Amino acid sequence: MKPKRERIADMLEDYVNIGGCTEEEAKPFIEWLRGHKYERPIFDINDEVKAGIEETLERVSIASGVTIDQMKSFNRKREIVTARMLCFYFIREEFTNHCTFEYIGQILDRHHSTAIYGYKVINNLLKIKDPYLARLVENYDKLCESEKQIAA
């Protein structure tokens, strides 16, 4: 007798064959039942969003004086960590409908939980009006405004 997972996978394949659902819809589940690793593309983000994310990284880099390479490094100096967290925050705020925290973490070579934590930290610091962060956000906003004026 086949193991239970195999029998369920067979039943699901039969369901596909009679037209209950498409093969594409059932494939991940069938492969999971059979114990195979199903690899699907995690992120399908268009070029416009990618360009916007790159602009956000550049703006944060200019506003904070920290290079993008430094933000991607494992350095834990306050200035670098704060700039990295600002990237998490601004990318999430500007591209909420396009970017998951997993993708945002990947941008700066971090785990998604680090991106979530960074977003929350910046959000809390903005609420209590941290002077250092307020200056960085002000610089970032000025860059955004000047780019809009140049584009207009």
CB 126 within 8 A of CB 133: yes
pLDDT tens sequence across 84-125: 999 999 999 988 888 888 889 988 889 889 999 999 999 999
Q: What's the pTM value of the predicted model, to 2 decimals?
A: 0.69
CA angle, residues 57, 63, 67, in degrees to nearest 5 = 55
Look-up of token digits 């494992």: 74
The structural domains of the chain, ordered by start, are 4-34 (no CATH), 47-151 (1.10.1750.10)
- The pLDDT of 42-71, averaged and rounded, is 86
According to DSSP, residue 36 is labeled: P
For residue 62, the SS3 value is helix
- In the chain the first and final C-alpha atoms are separated, in Å, by 71
Q: Is 150 helix (H, G, I), strand (E, B) or coil?
A: helix
> How much of the chain, in percent, has pLDDT values that exceed 70?
74
Q: What is the DSSP string of 63-108?
A: HHT--HHHHHS----HHHHHHHHHHHHHHHHHTTTT--HHHHHHHT
